[in-house]
Each structure stands twice: as structure tokens, then as C-alpha cells.
Amino acid sequence: MNSNKIESSYFLGVRVDRLDTETAKDEVRKLVRKRDGIMKPVYFANVHSIFLALQDHQLMEQLNYAALTLPDGSGLNWAGKILGNPIVENLNGTDFTPKILEMAEHENWSVYLLGAEEHVINKTAQVVQLQFPKLNIAGYHHGYFLGQKEQKVIDDINSKSPDLLLVGLGSPIQERWIWENRDKLNVGAGFAIGGLFDFMSGEFPRAPLWMRKLGIEWMYRFLNDPGNKWKRIFIEIPLFIPLIIMAQLIPNKVK
Ligand code: UDP
């Protein structure tokens, strides 16, 4: 699905596109302008999703064949430097998606917000509307609908036919849901945005700027949600760089 013109790097077999903010925005613009009734997946690859993909072949394929797979987080920054092939820019979803919403407002695109708990998505819709007053928020729905209510949600999205759908169900549920429903959804592009709605609504505070600048936002997220995030800190992050180095030493086995 990736137009072959985009240059990519591979981290433990997972494709990551080599784009800066402006070029990534241009690519999203193309996806929306050429919308053809099949939603185009836009994913963010980070250390956690790469570990999930190593254990889930379908997720690996979804990341590798998405319209865009953007580099998310300092882990990829470090790994790229070690491999002598630095990523062009850290396009993490929390910072990049608001830039897409700004573009959507400017381009008169409509947006549907899907995910998080009900009070969180209600608040997010208000906050987004305040931040981008002219943005057309076509609709929104909480993220606890899988199973019986799924068709109703799909019908609601299709009745609004938004240009963008932001899906925040957490990895790998959101990537799978976007992938499996992409040809049922009359949407331009579908973004897998993880816990973004929790941040935008103010439900979870974002790390202070100094931590983000140091590339240690993951530490702050762990301290705020240790029960769910401990594996990322104590297993995935420490293993990631050694695995990247090993994969480099055994070329042709794992890219
Ligand atoms: N979530 C949801 N539906 C589900 C499971 C999770 O809407 O069935 C939401 C949850 O409320 C949270 C987000 O998905 O807003 C997951 O956030 P997290 O930061 O854990 O995402 P990840 O980093 O795993 O992508």
C-alpha cells in the first residue's frame, strides 16, 4: 500500500518511513486527496509496537504494508544512530497528530475521533474544537465498542464519511481494527494514535518539556501507569538496542 517512492528503514524487520514533518504531511495530503473508498492506514512504529510485531506476524505485515509507518519515540532515534542510518525526524503521534488536525482545519477536512473511555472522548472533542475552531469534527465515539456494537460504529463513521479517522484503542488492537476494516470504511486515512485522547483531554498529563527534550517521555508514562507500562521499561527498552546491534551483526537474517 506504501507508494514505493517513500524511502524506509527497517528495525528488526519493521518498516519505518524516512520522512520529516513536512513531507509526512504532504503524504497524508495525497492520501486524502486521492481517497478511493478504502481507508489508508497510517501507523506509528515505536519500540513497543516493534516488540509486539516480533510476536505477531500479522502486525508486522500491517506495519510493513501500511500507507505510512512513521517513527515514534526516542528508541528509534537511538537505534538509527547506532546503525549509522538515523531516522529523519521523530514523528511521534502525540506531536504529529495535532499538526495533522491543524492541516485538516486548513484544508476543510472532516475528522472522526474513535477511542478511549466515554468521558475522555467527549472531553477530547471539546478540547480539539477549542484548539481548532474551524475544524469539522464529523463525529466521535468511545473505544469500548468491539464485538456487538462494532457494525453500528462502522455505520456511523460511514454516514459521516470523514476524511480522517483517529483510532485510539492501543496497540495492537487499533492497527488490527484499522487493517481489517479498511475496505469497509469510507474514510480517507485512518491513524492509529494510541493513548493520544488521554493526553489531549487532560486525563493523563504529558511529560514536562525537559523530559520530552531529553527523549525520556517513556519514563514519565511508566511512572504514571506502572501496572501497564512496566514491561516496556524493564524488558523492551533494555533489550531493543542489543537486539538491533545483533541483527546488524547477522545481516540478511533480520533486517
Ligand atoms: N482503549 C480503548 N478500547 C479498548 C482498549 C483501550 O479505547 O478496547 C483505549 C484506552 O482507553 C486508551 C488507549 O486505548 O485511551 C490506549 O492507550 P495506550 O497509551 O496504552 O496506547 P498504546 O501505547 O498501547 O498504543
Quick one: which of 43, 59, 68 has its CA closest to 166? 43
pLDDT at residue number 252 = 61
Testing ligand 1's pocket by substitution, the residue of 59, 169, 174, 203 carrying the most ligand atoms inside 8 A of its CB is 169
Task: Write the pLDDT tens digit of every residue in 35-78.
Answer: 999 999 999 999 999 999 999 999 999 999 999 999 998 899 98
Task: Write the pLDDT tens digit of every residue in 208-246.
Answer: 999 988 888 888 888 888 998 889 888 998 999 999 999
Q: Where are the beta strands (DSSP E) in 152-214?
A: 164-168, 189-192
Task: Write the pLDDT tens digit of every residue in 160-196.
Answer: 999 999 999 999 999 999 999 999 999 999 999 999 9
Measured in Å, residue 82 CA sits from the centre of ligand 1 at 31
Measured in Å, residue 115 CA sits from the centre of ligand 1 at 7
Which residues, in sequence order, are CB contacts of 208 under 8 Å at separation 6+? Answer: 220
Measured in Å, residue 2 CA sits from the centre of ligand 1 at 26
Is the pLDDT reported for residue 4 higher than 90? no
- The x, y and z cell numbers of residue 56, run together, are 505477531
Measured in Å, residue 196 CA sits from the centre of ligand 1 at 9
pLDDT at residue number 233 = 84
Task: Write the pLDDT tens digit of every residue in 82-141.
Answer: 888 889 999 999 999 999 999 999 999 999 999 999 999 999 999 999 999 999 999 999
pLDDT at residue number 135 = 98
Q: State whether residue 22 is helix, strand or coil.
A: helix
Report which of residues 255 and 12 the model is more confident about. 12
Peptide bond into 226 cis (omega under 30): no
Half-sphere exposure of 12 (CA within 13 A, CB side): 26
Band of the pLDDT at 144, cuts 50, 70, 90? very high
**Neighbouring C-beta atoms of residue 253, cutoff 10 Å:** 9
Quick one: which of 133, 146, 119 has its CA closest to 201? 119
Half-sphere exposure of 180 (CA within 13 A, CB side): 12
Start-to-end CA distance of the chain, whole Å, equals 20
Q: State whether residue 245 is helix, strand or coil.
A: helix
145: phi then psi, degrees, rounded to nearest 5:
-130, 0
Residues with CB under 6 A from ligand 1: 115-117, 143-144, 146, 168-171, 173, 194-195, 197-198
Q: Contact, 86 vs 74, CB < 8 A? A: no
